[in-house]
Amino acid sequence: PRDPPDAEFSRIELLKKILPREVLRQQFTIERFIKIPEEVRDRYAIIGRPTPLMRAKRLEEYLDTPAKIYFKFEGATPTGSHKINTAIPQAYFAAEEGISHVVTETGAGQWGTAVALAASMYDLSSTIFMVRVSYEQKPMRKTIMELYGGKVYASPTDLTEFGRKILKENPNHPGSLGIAMSEAIEFALNHNFRYLVGSVLDVVLLHQSVIGMEAIAQLDELGEEPDILIGCVGGGSNFGGFTYPFIGAKKGKKYIAVGAAEIPKFSTGKYEYDYPDTAGLLPLVKMITLGKDYVPPPIYAGGLRYHGVAPTLSLLIKEKIVEWREYKEEEIYEAAKIFMKTQGIVPAPESAHAIKAVIDEALKAKTEKERRVIVFNLSGHGLLDLGNYESIRRRVEK
Amino acid sequence: PRDPPDAEFSRIELLKKILPREVLRQQFTIERFIKIPEEVRDRYAIIGRPTPLMRAKRLEEYLDTPAKIYFKFEGATPTGSHKINTAIPQAYFAAEEGISHVVTETGAGQWGTAVALAASMYDLSSTIFMVRVSYEQKPMRKTIMELYGGKVYASPTDLTEFGRKILKENPNHPGSLGIAMSEAIEFALNHNFRYLVGSVLDVVLLHQSVIGMEAIAQLDELGEEPDILIGCVGGGSNFGGFTYPFIGAKKGKKYIAVGAAEIPKFSTGKYEYDYPDTAGLLPLVKMITLGKDYVPPPIYAGGLRYHGVAPTLSLLIKEKIVEWREYKEEEIYEAAKIFMKTQGIVPAPESAHAIKAVIDEALKAKTEKERRVIVFNLSGHGLLDLGNYESIRRRVEK
Amino acid sequence: MKRMLVTYMTLGYPNLESFYQFIEKSVELGTDILEIGLPPKYAKYDGPVIRKSYKAVTSWLKDYITPLKEVRKKVNIPIIILTYLEDYLSNLDNFLTTLHEIGIDGVLFPDLLIDFIDEYEEYVSKIKGKGVKTVLFTGPSLPDNLIIKASRISDIFLYYGVRPTTGIIIPVSVDSLITRVRNLVQNKLVVGFGLNDFNDLRKALSAGADGVAIGTAFIEEIEKNGIQSALQLVKTIRGILDEYS
Amino acid sequence: MKRMLVTYMTLGYPNLESFYQFIEKSVELGTDILEIGLPPKYAKYDGPVIRKSYKAVTSWLKDYITPLKEVRKKVNIPIIILTYLEDYLSNLDNFLTTLHEIGIDGVLFPDLLIDFIDEYEEYVSKIKGKGVKTVLFTGPSLPDNLIIKASRISDIFLYYGVRPTTGIIIPVSVDSLITRVRNLVQNKLVVGFGLNDFNDLRKALSAGADGVAIGTAFIEEIEKNGIQSALQLVKTIRGILDEYS
């Protein structure tokens, strides 16, 4: 990470002020293995970890493939996605430091939900700045955060100087992730609260590696050797969390990162220093990026609209250790429907991207008559994304 | 079951025409154990059975109780509730009989969702008559049914004579469960399809007993002897499915059925012959009932608004083998919030009734200084009921 | 051991003349016990065929005493009256005395163990006290211990209805139902309710039923093809029963 | 074995007179190697304190050659120039030749292994070819095998920055970081980047660092309390280093 040229303030210094100390330590650690504190393991057990590793038997049958397909189901956690895996340790480290309150921003709401729950698990208060347009369009996400005890505000708010400035210019400003994040950070700084980060940073990928670590143990128990590992990429935390343990243990022959064709970062992104956040408050990191000011089209998988790729994953892609795919949302929707009808689970639109790649690889295994073992991360369920499904249904099936 | 006096047609004969043959056979069997067909076990595995039996450790800590609290989590299935447990075998038996299409009605949508998925798992078509007012107010439920491949109609429809008659009288009729069911049955009869039943009937409780059978095995594995078993009661199928195996195996000392104080069937219902369905199309059964024409108030736990109690459960209550409780929705809401904050799971509003009783029993164990083992059935998650939570929040927290 | 044929007919169906003819001939053809239905107000546990027969006769049959006397005169085998206790709650003594005077052997109230379960023993004493035998009606929905108790006090035989209602062939596993109840019952076991399928009949006998009660099948046969055809059915069933003797 | 003190100072900070004074005295007080920073256009890997010092001097310091010559005259110990390769891409040969002529011992480009990783070996050859030593800069974000390779070709010592930037005390486990890298490195290992906490300093030495590079701490001290106080700090740190000799 580096500070931008002629920075008015040091982003690295800001990190130090807003992140829980241990989170920051882990961000910059070089230890290969970090013990999960007992208090975090406890909470992991409560949210249902280890999550199940399931075989997609009916999908195999439907595709008539010799491949075996397994998936790690992160949607089995109460908040319905992998996000909780990092929210818990981050909240814990804040609590350990004697902090009473954590703050974050959220767009579609998954991350905010995870933070609200994680905070409640350590008896912390939580404040979530939710992009106004989502706040209005996704009232259920607001409800669930509040049920978990989170205080949710439609950003821009008048709680921060930054928010007040924007409201003054436009009282009906719809908000943006960048604005919400700026407000969250300002709010945390002003009150000596701590800010929790949802993706991209190494420390987040580290926490998410519980997914891959569990999956390795579960496959071992089944006596399976994985050939292909697949995940979708928003910022890269579910993908990294799932695949890095396999890569590190030299398990698997192929790792496939899947993105949305509508946000073509793998195919057209540049590998350069960029801000991980649209607000430009975090230090620059070297990554594959479409530029922080890139305006993504409104695809139905909101979580994949991120402009960059986590630095470590960017490097693995540059080094050709990880392959990538990009699919169009019509293809994704078809893949999601196949999965729903065969396996019953409504996948998160993001996770459906992984499913599309799985289907392609399974059909390739069929053509090549190879009994490959394909394992993918189903990073979340789509029960709170049915509105998005409805919108794509209208577009695709009209 | 009996036909009503001066019946124009025999309800028992109707059952024979609309239910899959094997479903009817199981309804009237006296075998204590019925083998689950391999093809049903397969699908159970796909939907994640056995569902987890989890310890509510943080709830115990929160209540500071010497009791151990476990719960069977039926919300872990893809459709989010126990309903799928009977939809699968019913769809299977229809498919086995060579039927191509199954039909049902749905109110809030849980049952319709389960039927749509179960049908898709055996490559059957499905038609679901959804009460118009729910169809309009719960569009996400409609979306998920359609994603599973179900054909969903807002009832009353012009697809049936019954529906046409009602529409002629009032083209904007909001619909009712009774009307939807009448349409579903007429539709099934006209096309030689089969009708699937969601609760109350013995055969449904039989299918649901997979919950209790699994729970017994899971507790055995943990070396736990249950003292108290608790479930909520809508029609009685999740309660019966969960507790009957324990009662039959003489495991447990106390069984508690929990209902809503707003629908006071346990406290004021009569034990008499009544129609299990508001349409009056099914045979009369002897049960605790508020009368099929009882109009329940609009509480937030829609699934508990049913007027009766499954006949077998009614008898067990009359015989004082099963105890009952009734709680007001404000109490339920508080219990749900405690559970959410301690265990992270948003319970279905129905299941939250069980949680309230669990909390009371755990506090009683504390007062009495007894290390009791309390096990309850968390029959579903509430992720698709957040609108209901929002509505009760407004009422209670205003 | 000879298996019993319990032949049911609604009193006066389809008309008095044919009714008497059917009764007499069926006895000749091997009926062991006659079961005669008195139309109740609400035939809770009867299927549509028998209900229709009730309806048919109640339109003209106002007096049950005379035809019952006539039947008693014509046949020597035991006669059991099937009707619902519910209709006689206010004048049970009277009703029983009348039956006794006519020479009817017993009564079968299908609602006794279901709708009057809390007081059934008192009713049984009362019935027996009036010199009338009582055949108890049981079925799969009753608990085992109740069936055991009922079988001990039931006169002539214990009636076991394999289906929830008469005449509607709900798919049930007749053999396993009967194997199970056979082990509970020391008394003679007569099986009925929807046994008009010969397969089911054989299954019931193989599984140890001491007899079968047939009703709907005869009424349907009369309805469709007339008395002679119904009597032919009596003969056929008698033949099947005798295979198991 | 004596542990090395690498003392950093931005060229000309806070003014030429004080700068010379600090350099001379710090060598007297036990500095083993001087590291002198030439303000770059974009100080990517420097923290706010050092960045501020760059800013302060660039406002008036237009020529780096004269003051460097002066320093070279004043001290005998090795002098390393810290600056960013990025700024010299177009005139690297020239720059290196100038340094060599002045008598500078070596250069340290912190961006070499990060931003020019694909061509770093060519650059190292080129630098050495001009008679200038090259001290390679590494840190925790570089892969082990790169650190091993770099340590083999780094002159004088291998620089290891424990934190992502200078002067900001990001919480890292200094001891485990150094224990780990110590096992990879045969060369002398000098540790820097945010070592102004004595605890961290001791941890680094205990874990096997051959020396430490200190910069931000001196600049902050000058800023707050003046040159004498900064020199006092040099003395203190020298003392700590000597505890581990």
- pLDDT score recorded for residue B300: 87
**Averaged pLDDT score across all residues of chain C:** 95
Question: Are B22 and C171 in contact (CB < 8 Å)?
Answer: yes
C46 is catalytic: yes
Residues 104-163 of D with CB under 8 A from A: 140, 163
Element (H, E) at D56: helix D48-58
Put simply, the answer to whether B57 touches A45 (Cβ < 8 Å) is yes
Q: Among residues of chain C, what percentage have pLDDT more than 70?
A: 100
Report the residue of D44, D115, D118, D203 to disrupt the A interface, i.e. the one with the largest count of A CBs within 10 Å. D44
Using CB atoms, pick whichever of B84, B121, B346 lies closest to residue A147: B346
> How far away is chain D from the Cα of A273, in angstroms, using its nearest Cα?
10
| Cβ neighbours of B47 in A, within 8 Å | 344
Specify whether the backbone of A121 is left (phi greater than 0), alpha (psi in -120 to 50) or beta.
alpha
pLDDT of residue D245: 84
B136 interfacial to chain A (CB closer than 8 Å): no
**Residue percentage of chain B with pLDDT more than 70:** 100
> Inter-chain contact A58–B79, Cβ cutoff 8 Å?
no
Kindly list the distances between the CA atom of residue D179 and the CA atoms of A307, D150, D171, D192, D198, in Å, as whole numbers in the listed order.
37, 17, 17, 15, 18
With CB atoms and an 8 Å threshold, state whether A340 touches B148. yes
pLDDT tens for D158-213 read 999 998 888 888 888 899 899 999 999 999 999 998 887 899 999 999 999 999 99
Q: At B299, is the pLDDT very low, low, confident or very high (cuts 50, 70, 90)?
A: confident
Contact B216, B245 (CB under 8 A): yes
Show the 3-state SS of chain B.
CECCCCCCCCHHHHHHHHCCHHHHHHHCCCCCCCCCCHHHHHHHHHCCCCCCEEECHHHHHHHCCCCEEEEEEHHHCCCCECCHHHHHHHHHHHHHCCCCEEEEEECCCHHHHHHHHHHHHCCCEEEEEEEHHHHHHCHHHHHHHHHCCCEEEEECCCCCHHHHHHHHHCCCCCCCHHHHHHHHHHHHHHHCCEECCCCCCHHHHHHHHHHHHHHHHHHHHHCCCCCEEEEECCCCHHHHHHHHHHHHCCCCCEEEEEEECCCCHHHHCEEEEECCCCCCCCCEEEEEECCCCCCCCCCCCHHHCCCECCHHHHHHHHCCCCEEEEECHHHHHHHHHHHHHHHCCCECHHHHHHHHHHHHHHHHHHHCCCCCEEEEEECEECCCCHHHHHHHHHHHCC
What is the reported pLDDT for A397?
A: 81
Closest CB from A3, A21, A22 relative to D165? A3
Partners of C47 on chain B (C-beta within 8 Å) are 3, 10, 12-13
Among B117, B139, B340, select the one facing A147 at the smallest CB separation. B340
Provide, as residue numbers in chain A, all residues whose Cβ is less than 8 Å from the Cβ of B57. Answer: 42, 45-46
Q: Which two tokens stand for residue B129?
A: 């008559």
Q: Which of A30, A3, A8, A9 is nearest to D45 (CA)?
A: A3
Kindly report the nearest CA distance between residue B390 and chain C, in angstroms.
Answer: 44
Its sign, for the CA torsion B314, B317, B322, B328, is positive
pLDDT of C181 reads 94
Residue C9 pairs in a beta bridge with C36
Which of B6, B8, B12 to mutate: most C Cβ within 10 Å? B12
Q: Quick one: tokens of A119?
A: 């905070």
Instruction: Give which of A390, A395, A397 to mutate to test B binding, by max B Cβ within 10 Å.
Output: A390
The answer to whether B and D touch (≥3 CB pairs < 8 Å) is no
Residue with tokens 């992730």: A177
Token pair recorded at residue B244: 């009957």
Separation in Å, CA of A341 to nearest CA in chain B: 5
Q: What part of A 339-358 touches D (C-beta under 8 Å)?
A: none
All residues at 6 or more sequence positions from B216 whose CB lies less than 8 Å from its CB, including other chains: B245, B246, B249, B251
Q: Which amino acid is at A374?
A: I
β-bridge partners, B132: none
Q: Residue B105 forms beta bridges with which residues?
A: B129
Instruction: Please state, in angstroms and as integers, the Cα–Cα distance from residue D187 to each residue in A346, C117, D104, D135, following that order.
Output: 57, 97, 21, 11
Tokens of A126: 């939580």
Q: Of C17, C28, C46, C144, which residue is the catalytic one? A: C46
DSSP E strands in A158-268: the ranges are 194-195, 228-232, 254-260
- Asked if the Cβ–Cβ distance from D47 to A10 is below 8 Å, we say yes
Model's pTM, two decimal places?
Answer: 0.90
Q: Chain B within 8 Å of A343 (Cβ-Cβ)?
A: yes
pLDDT bucket at C164, cuts 50 / 70 / 90: confident
The shortest CB-CB distance from D170 to any of A6, A16, A30 is to: A16
- Chain B's closest residue to A345, CA to CA, is B78
Across the interface, of A2, A15, A30, the residue whose CB is closest to D44 is A2
Size of interface A-B (CB pairs under 8 A): 114
Q: How far apart are the first and last CA of chain A?
A: 46
Tell me if chain D has a CB within 8 Å of the CB of A9: yes
User: How many of the other CB atoms lie within 10 Å of CB of C67?
Assistant: 18
**What pLDDT is stored for residue B1 in this prediction?**
84
- Contact call for B31 and C176, based on CB within 8 A: yes
- Beta carbons of A321 and A247 less than 8 angstroms apart: yes
Query: What CATH number has the domain bearing residue D153?
Result: 3.20.20.70
D192: CB partners within 8 A, 6+ apart: D6, D8, D159, D160, D161, D162, D166, D212, D213, D214, D215
pLDDT, position A35: 95
Residue B267 contacts C, CB cutoff 8 Å: no
Interchain CB distance below 8 Å, C44 and B10: no
Is the bond into A50 cis (omega within 30 degrees of 0)? yes
Beta-carbon separation of A24 and D171 below 8 A: yes
Tell me the per-residue pLDDT of D216-236, one tens digit each, with 9 for 90 and over.
999 999 999 999 999 999 999
Contact between residue B378 and residue B358 where contact means Cβ atoms under 8 Å apart: no
Instruction: Return the amino acid letter for D117.
Output: I
pLDDT digits (tens, 9 = 90+) for C123-139: 999 999 999 999 999 99
Distance from CA of A387 to the nearest CA of B (A): 7
pLDDT number for residue D197: 84
What domain count does chain D have?
Answer: 1
Give mean pLDDT, residues C177-189.
94
Which residues in chain D touch residue A28, judged by CB atoms under 8 angstroms apart?
140, 163-164, 170, 172
List of chain A residues with pLDDT < 70: 398
Residue B137 at interface with chain A, using a CB cutoff of 8 Å: no
Sign of CA dihedral C151, C155, C156, C160: negative
Name chain B's partners: 3 or more CB pairs within 8 A.
A, C
CA-based nearest distance A94→chain B, Å: 18
Nearest C-alpha of chain B: how many angstroms from C71?
Answer: 29
Nearest to D170 among A2, A9, A12 (CB): A12
pLDDT at D1: 81
Q: Closest chain A residue to B382 measured between Cα atoms?
A: A144
Secondary structure (H, E, C), A56-108: CHHHHHHHCCCCEEEEEEHHHCCCCECCHHHHHHHHHHHHHCCCCEEEEEECC
**Predicted pLDDT at A361:** 98
- What is the pLDDT, as a whole number, of residue D167? 85
Between CA A27 and CA A34, with CA A31 as vertex, the angle to 5 degrees is 80
Range of the domain at C14: 4-243
Q: How far apart are CA A124 and CA A112, in angstroms?
A: 14
Q: Is the pLDDT of residue B5 over 90?
A: no
- Could you tell me the pLDDT band of residue C166, with boundaries at 50, 70 and 90? confident
Give the C-alpha separation, C177 to C163, whole Å: 10
